[in-house]
Amino acid sequence: MTDTASEEWRAVCEARHWLRKGYTTSDRVDALVARITAERGQEAAHRLRDEMRRQWVKRKEWMEVSIA
């Protein structure tokens, strides 16, 4: 895996992790984004939110795989 591919996969895994932990409402996601902003900066927080949105749309695919 290239560094770019590894980083993309890490972002996908992190987004899925937070979604599985119940960060699915705007209030909880806003709190998470504030926390990530404080720890890693605004750009990282926005990338996480964007990836969480992408993974939310595809959740049926990966949730079925992880349950099976």
3-state SS track over the chain: CCHHHHHHHHHHHHHHHHHHCCCCCHHHHHHHHHHHHHHHCHHHHHHHHHHHHHHHHCHHHHHHHHHC
pLDDT at 21 over 60: yes
pLDDT digits (tens, 9 = 90+) for 31-46: 999 999 999 999 999 9
With pLDDT > 70 as the criterion, what percentage of the chain qualifies?
Answer: 91
Residues 23, 52 contacting (CB under 8 angstroms): yes
Place of tokens 């290239």: 2
Q: Average pLDDT, stretch 3-30?
A: 96
- The residue-averaged pLDDT of 52-65 equals 89
Of 7 and 64, the one with more pLDDT: 7
